[in-house]
Amino acid sequence: MKKLLTGNEAIARGAYEAGCLVATAYPGTPSTEILENVSKYEEIYSEWSTNEKVALEVGAGASIAGARSLVTMKHVGLNVAADPMFTIAYEGVNGGLIIVTADEPGMHSSQNEQDNRLYAPHAKVAMVEPSDSQECKDFVKHAFEISETFDTPVIFRVTTRVCHSKGIVELGEREEVGVKEYTKDIRKYIMVPANSKAKHIEIENERIPKLREYSNTTPLNRIEWGNRKIGIITNGISYHHAKEVFGDNASYLKIGFSYPLPDKLIKEFAGGVESLYIIEENEPYIENFVKAMGIPCTGKEIFSLCGEISPEIIRQAMLNEDKKETYSLDLKVPSRPPALCAGCPHRGIFYAVSKYKNKIVVTSDIGCYTLGMAPPLGVGDTVICMGAGITAGIGFDKVNTMANRDKKVFGFVGDSTFFHSGMTGLVNAVYNGTNMVMVILDNRITAMTGHQENPGTGKTLSGVESPMVDIEGLVKAIGIKEENIRVIDPYNMEENNKAVKDAIEATEPFVIITKQPCALIKDVQRARRGLHCEVNQETCRKCKTCLRIGCPAISLKNNVVSIDTSLCNGCTVCLQVCPFKAIEYCGESR
């Protein structure tokens, strides 16, 4: 049977067909849909883990216990999971272990553009790279076999275009491989220095040479002879871009098994073409290897280290052609920068904080609330990584004290981010007596990546009811005094303003917890259907105060302020900030 699948859906299908039994992840674009689709297969235990490190440790434990295990994350998540990965690389596996890293050339929804292929030689683990949906499914099955044959975790590297593009996939049946027998083996699975030293030598002398020989013979790496004037070594989606430009007018060495790279195959291919080009996105990973072998080639001399590669870029770089095969529209699409949604529960607290812009520093984090940095709210000085909304704030506060700067630090994190890596920062703030404000925005979901459950929502990935972790209780247990905690409704501007004022005046670690579900949750949308605010044009003084909250439902046109009732959900923040009571609530009393 054939089916049209995205790369992410195909990876999930490959895990199912390969007999995978355990799958873990922390959601993050472009990887999120992998686990969402895995969870549909009852044969596989799947979970949203609290962070990527936890996900890999759970997957590693399941692998050692004997089950084929899949762990998925976006590229920056592998930084979080790198700690266990480097040690698991020494230990090896029992049941196969695949680590999916979804890289993002072009940074469509990410804070950096790192190339995680570099992790494979660093950790000394095998790596495979599919280029389309069919290969996503098939390569998962190969990767499990590679993992078990060579006793290694396998990095399964995909990119945004592979994850989200659709293709026809030939489906197969599930292979029930079961659970392997577990035998206690202290030298293999307990990485104290004496065992680690022996393992490192074993990896260098046995695993890597065997993997390199496999790389030279596996069908995952293949030569496609065409016109031999131009030879192209490429991988992933770049292979399809190159084929689109050159077709049979070039020869190709397609790399699907990319660590170790196939030295013998590369020499054979390079010797059979007149000019050799390396087409790869971001880092010159393949190019550096080829040049280190003494083989002349052209790569980053004509291709950028930054962004995605496309057929147009290849044509321009290699053929000096500006041909653009795109569709044009007669209408001009207006610019639509990212913004907090109409009715977003984060808006109220941001507006309250924005009144103190000259007196505070705001260290923000990864999530919808990052958008609080945008005008007119303008709340945000830094964004680094998950959890740094608190920990970067600690550092900022310490230096502010040293430099005698009279500025209070507010650190923002979301509920899922708090569980991911914010809790340790809060412990650090309490332990080291940091006089900063930590704002935990609890919107009852992991919103930016597509509404995934988390430990505070009361449901697992599979929709099973589970204990709802109490953020306020955790904050108290960590050591924040009860008088320094405010749990507020962010739609209530009086509560927002008072909490912020109290926080600024505090002389000890202070926590504000906002509790209001994301406005886009379906149940919330149904409950608020028909509720909205309207501007009374007779009362409106055109003071534009309501525009300062940055709600996309409010607009000013021809000097008339109006509210788009199709967007408004009646949160009433605009009503509360209007100094002339010109905004009216339409619906049942809140």
Residues of the chain with CATH 3.30.70.20: 528-586
- Tell whether omega for the bond before 296 is within 30 degrees of 0, i.e. cis: no
Closest residue by Cα to residue 125 from 102, 87, 155: 155
State residue 381's pLDDT score.
95
Distances 443 to 339, 344, 422 between C-alpha atoms, Å:
16, 9, 15
Q: Hey, what are 100's tokens?
A: 């999916």
State residue 326's pLDDT score.
65
Q: Hey, what are 396's tokens?
A: 């900022």
pLDDT, one tens digit for every residue, the chain (590 residues): 999 999 999 999 999 999 999 999 999 999 999 999 999 999 999 999 999 999 999 999 999 999 999 999 999 999 999 999 999 999 999 999 999 999 999 999 899 999 999 999 999 999 999 999 999 999 999 999 999 999 999 999 999 999 999 999 999 999 999 999 999 999 999 999 999 999 999 999 999 999 999 999 999 999 999 999 999 999 999 999 999 999 999 999 999 999 999 999 999 999 999 999 999 999 999 999 999 999 999 999 999 999 999 999 999 999 998 866 667 777 887 777 888 999 999 999 999 999 999 999 999 999 999 999 999 999 999 999 999 999 999 999 999 999 999 999 999 999 999 999 999 999 999 999 999 999 999 999 999 899 999 999 999 999 999 999 999 999 999 999 999 999 999 999 999 999 999 999 999 999 999 999 999 999 899 888 889 999 999 999 999 999 999 999 999 999 999 999 999 999 999 999 999 999 999 976 44
Mapped onto helix, strand or coil, the DSSP state of residue 488 is: strand
- The DSSP line for 323-384 is -------SSPPPP----PPTT-THHHHHHHHHTTGGGEEEE--SSGGGGGGSTTT---SB--
State residue 333's pLDDT score.
77
Q: Classify residue 532 by burial, with Cβ atoms within 10 Å: 0-12, 13-18, 19+.
A: buried
State residue 336's pLDDT score.
78
pTM above 0.85, yes or no: yes
Place of tokens 């209070």: 408
CB 117 within 8 A of CB 259: yes
CATH number belonging to domain 528-586: 3.30.70.20
Mapped onto helix, strand or coil, the DSSP state of residue 177 is: coil
User: Does domain 2-217 correspond to CATH entry 3.30.460.80?
Assistant: no
**CATH topology assigned to domain 222-319:** Rossmann fold (3.40.50)
Helices (H), 18-159: 32-38, 52-65, 75-91, 119-123, 133-150
Closest residue by Cα to residue 36 from 69, 62, 4, 8: 8
State residue 329's pLDDT score.
72
Give every CB contact of residue 192 below 8 A, 6+ residues apart in sequence: none
How far apart are alpha carbons 429 and 193 in whole angstroms?
33
State residue 332's pLDDT score.
80
Residues of the chain with CATH 3.40.50.970: 2-217, 346-520
How far apart are alpha carbons 56 and 98 in whole angstroms?
10
CB 548 within 8 A of CB 511: no
State residue 354's pLDDT score.
96
CATH superfamily of domain region 346-520: Thiamin diphosphate (ThDP)-binding fold, Pyr/PP domains (3.40.50.970)
Residues of the chain with CATH 3.40.50.920: 222-319
Place of tokens 């499914």: 137
Written as one letter, the residue type at 352 is A
